[in-house]
Chain A
Amino acid sequence: MNRGYIRVARIASLAVALTAGGAGAQGSPLSEARDSIRTGKYKDAIAMLAKIGPADTEWVDAQRELARTYATVGRYDDAEAVARRATSAKGGAFLWNTLGEVLLLRGKRAPAESAFVRAVAEHVPDSLTAALNLAVVHYDRGDRARAMKEFDRFIDVYNAGGDLTSDDLVAIATAVEYLGVNDPQLFKDALKAFDKALMADGENIEARVKLGELFLDKYQFGEAQKTFEEVLSLNPSHPRALLGAARRLEADGKPGVDSLVRMALSVNPDYVDAHIFRAEQFIDLEEYAAAQQSIDRALRVNPNASRGIAVAAAIKFLAHDNAGYEALRQRALALDPADAEFYATMAEMAGHVRLYSAAVDFAKQGVAADPKSWHAHGLLGMNLLRRGQIDGGKKSLDVSFAGDPYNVWIKNTLDLLDTYKNYDELTSEHFRFMIEKSESAVLSIYLKELAEQAYSTFATKYAYTPPPPVRIEVYRSHADFSVRTVGLAGLGALGVSFGTTLAFDSPAAKDAGPFNWGSTVWHELAHTFTLGMTDHRVPRWLSEGLSVYEEHKAKPGWGFNVTPDFIIAFKTGKLVPVSRMNDGFMHPAFPQQVGLSYYQASLVCDYIARDWGEPALLKMLLAYKEGQTTEQVFQKVLNTDIKAFDKKFDDYVRARFASAIASLPAEPPEIDRRMPAQELLRRAAAAPGDFGVQLMVGAALAAQGNLDAAIAPLEKARSLFPEYGGGDSPSARLADIYAKKGEDRKAADMLAKWVTLTETNYKGLLELATLLEKLGDLRGAAEAVDRAMYVNPFDIALHQHLADLYKAVGSPKQVVRERMAVVALAPVDKADALYQLALAHHEAGDAARARTAVLRALEEAPNFERAQTLLLTLYEARNRSGERTP
């Protein structure tokens, strides 16, 4: 299928002034009230409208506006009463449709339907809108065939031309939108109709909001944002526009969602869709009690809100309340027996909390309920992919995309799947690897070894083995990894674990920046075990915390480490307490908070392991598997109230980093590098406990060439915050000074300390290796270079050197690995690389592999003398042992 380029083209400029046009005599009370409504001054509008008496010629129109305004601010009873009273007054038939709409907001479907029928029968000015509402009621109760026929008539109305009002055009646009399920091209026609509605009446906010919602539904986030901003620039209190803007931000993972929702609810405290949205957000945070409160509020207002019922069912399901789930499922199906969206919502919610198998099951039920639910097909496809079922996933995504070609997540994912032909699939005992062909040879050498090592470590520790094979996908492009993970480019993470399917950036993914791919693999594999052993019930924060905790245990420097940002955030109370740790990952309050939360979560694990023992962490996982809440888990396993734990953890961090906390200033000290040495030393002496002063004075002195004088303040700085491993850390500066002074041993010691504080210190590791080699510590040098390979494994010369180092220290297996890496990197001198590999195999006692490698070398260069000599050696040895001969 040609997926082409997705773009919903707008046919007309929306640059119609919002203040233009409008009904009502200029300066009349109704006109003034409408102005107030347009600008969000709802209270003023209500007061003005209430003053218009029944004798007034504008009374009926005023009642309509009043009922709608009451509904906008959540005074639904008042809205219903006003509309109902007006319908029985002279000329009040005009309000039947409004009454129906108000009733519908409370879930009163049957009386709403009657009201719409009446409005249509009365041929009132908004009877076309009433006809639309009627069709929507039919659609929502599962009478799809009838509803679609009714929607189809709107095309005839449009094509017949005639004098259509802006509201009529909105009704037509909405009907065409529904018809889009059968023909996705019709969404473009819906767009045209919305544009025409806005051309007819630039002040038709309903048209503009609905247009924004269409853009949102069709993943045109930029256009959606623009449209909602147009509304909010005139009426900053429009609840639907506020919620639309919030949904747009959330879709892009941008901050500011909460404040927009709060604003919407401050205008309408009973805004059903906003409460449902909040419930979904709480589900993402795995705060099911809070989610329940929000959904209860929504369903109290509108007990028949289908999305609300689905979200309520999801909460029950996630809280292991199967009876509650089933009751809500029955309630949803009673309203609409073909409610695929119920299952799709369940699949969405399950997927959000990493229950991908459940998501697949729900999505399948959605597809069964309505084979035209492209949403359900899409969710099925995406979740199958997360489970590693690539063919099945692609099939579902193809179906979804054919029905709804506007879904950018699905389009991007299908485009990515098309590139899988460029990947190799390799296996090891427990894994299946998918690596781009150009780098599969070199990466697989390390990856297989590392992954199996992690598997063995975690299987023993967690007493759990994931169902084989665990699938690991390695993406050379960060954008591809991002699409694989979230469907869109721009994800900040480097790796993801969907359980038994992992994906991560290749170290060649330049757009990802420098990172340690080894620790990333270790981290994501830890998730595989913690997710698996809890049936995916482990909360996000604990799974992340354990993954970083395991990184720390795997190799020196791996994983997030303490930074000045962390210490300052802790000091200034910016970190979330343990009881709300998911907030730090899901709803960060400031840009760096996610990164800090990883480290913070690992500290929680450190603390628990220290005071309750490491087995307590496993017991916690098992308790989560049983379905216990975080409060229950802490109480049961740690015998502590979660709030009390918050305090204890705070004390733990305060004690663990006491020196750093005391010595890190909130603001950088004012030290000018050009200050005279005497002044610098005076400043250092005046602030012996200030890390920043000591570090900057030391750096300034070193820059001035006062190497000896710089040592004391830098040593002081190191003693104040020994964990700091940044590029300007005291250890780094001291190493540099000692190297310049020719004190190689001290320089090496400092470098050795520095490189254990960060995981991406490639340069530091290579410098350390050079120094250690110079000092005769070849094993130490080899270890340092080996660690550097987890940052950049693509340097042929480095592999050759590492092979030489390993050979010198008598580690033949490692020599083989490095020689394999050289061959895998396709050096120009392939024959020599193969010969060196053959030699390594030979020296490691593997004659068979040595023979194969030397044959490959000589295949490249038949006259390669050294390879010929090795071949003869191998051949003659084999003959001596009685094996076959040529």
Chain B
Amino acid sequence: MNIGRGERRAGFLAGAAFLRGAAFLMLLSAAVPNRAVLQAQTHVLIVSGLGGDAKYKKSFASLADSLAGAIGTRYGIPAAQVTWLAEDSVSKAPRFRGQSTKANIERWVQQTATRAGAGDQVVIVLIGHGSGDGEDSKLSLPGPDLSARDFAQLLARFPTQKTAFVNLSSASGDMVPVLSAPNRVVITATKSAFERNESHFAEYFVRALTADGSDTDKDGRISLLEAFKFASAETKRLYETDERMQTEHAQLDDDGDRTGHPDPDGKLGEGAFARRFFLDAGVSASRAGVNDPRLGALYTEKFAIEEQIEQLKARKAAMPPNAYDDELEKLLVQLALKARSIREIEGRKS
């Protein structure tokens, strides 16, 4: 029986590879990690703004601290690439780098722009109270505030990098059209500057990145899209449970169309870029062990099967349910077997 299964599997894979032809080769060139990806680094700036009263001061600092910590421990990003600027000028937190003033933020941007290579990821996360509207939407900071326009100018310093601008503050929604740009994920906690009430989205977004439960595609990594969707869903659930009218509606834009979307599906248009945006991009790629030629081949085949699955899913509505499931099962079994082989070589246990 075992031999038989193996023979069928081998035959099937050969057939699949043969059938995919040119399109398959194109996919490989995009999917297989290369040296540029391996060397890609992530640079993170976390800014916690003015709290106003003790409750928010504590809450903003706590969120920022735990996010900064997880970025180091959970995502393996070197401490030198993680900066947390906070309302207080003094802190013993490991990744605290100073007060969240306009000057410090601008300084970080200047330094990072010099340091970051092409293809690196630059992530800015803002936590705090928002104010203003339109291009003048701001994050409240100690001293002069930074507006949407200011942030747009700062991010323009990263023309060859992938950027993510995550504004978890209240009244942040109007920043979407100002910050929207190609190769950039923009996330705001609200849909406009008019949603000024206390925002809970930040808590859940940070939880998505720091705890289990948001890796919904089970690839072992949390994309910005997954974190966004997790936080959106949990925020909604919070209001429903408390029987309150929801006063914050988070938005995501990642195709540069200057329009935020509350529920991007991440398949083709809105959300597709965020789905592939991982904080641990460089770290994960190095774990993939692409230097082992056996693994390279296995990953190539695995990615090909994944693509076939996506194509099959796109045809689902047009297929009889049983036929669809049979096809899906075939592909999923192949994928599972491939994943098992990869794990065996990588020495991981399932």
Contacts and interface: CB of A to CB of B under 8 A. Distances in A.
B241 to A, nearest CB: 8
B36 interface: no
Interface stretch (A190-198, A335-343, A852-860): A852-860
Contact of A832 (B5, B218, B333): B218
Q: How large is the interface on A (under 10, 10 to 19, 20 to 34, 35 or more residues)?
A: 20 to 34
A437 to B, nearest CB: 16
A859 B321 CA distance: 13
A108 interface: no
Given A828-B229, A859-B313, A865-B350, A871 B332 contact: yes
Nearest to A866: B350
B329 A855 contact: yes
A866 B218 CA distance: 9
Given A828-B214, A863-B218, A886 B326 contact: yes
A868 B330 contact: no
Interface stretch (B25-33, B53-61, B335-343): B335-343
B213 A885 contact: no
Contact of A861 (B213, B216, B328, B336): B216
B220 interface: yes
Contacts of B217: 831, 860-864
Contacts of A851: 325, 329
Given A855-B329, A868-B336, A829 B1 contact: no
B230 A828 contact: yes
Interface in B67-91: none
A864 B218 contact: yes
A510 interface: yes
Nearest to B213: A829
Given A828-B233, A871-B336, A880-B1, A865 B329 contact: no
A293 interface: no
A869 interface: yes
Give the dominant DSSP class at B's interface: helix
A865 B332 CA distance: 11
B8 interface: yes
Contacts of A863: 217-220, 306, 335, 339
A430 interface: no
Interface string A842-886: 000000000110010011111111111101100110011000011
Binding site secondary structure of chain A? helix
Interface in A806-847: 826, 828-832
Contacts of A879: 1, 5
B336 A886 contact: no
Contacts of B243: 510
A687 to B, nearest CB: 42
Contacts of B215: 829
B239 interface: no
Nearest to B326: A886
Contacts of B12: 886
A864 B12 CA distance: 22
Interface in B228-259: 229-230, 233-234, 243
Nearest to A511: B243
B219 A868 contact: no
B332 A868 contact: yes
A330 to B, nearest CB: 59
B154 interface: no
Interface of A: 510, 826, 828-832, 851-852, 855, 858-869, 871-872, 875-876, 879-880, 885-886
22 contacts: A510-B243, A828-B230, A828-B233, A828-B234, A831-B216, A831-B218, A863-B218, A863-B219, A863-B220, A864-B217, A864-B218, A865-B339, A865-B343, A866-B218, A866-B350, A868-B340, A869-B336, A871-B332, A871-B336, A872-B337, A885-B5, A886-B12
**Lowest 10 CB-CB distances: which A-B pairs, in order?**
A864-B218, A886-B330, A861-B218, A868-B336, A861-B217, A863-B219, A828-B233, A828-B230, A858-B332, A865-B350
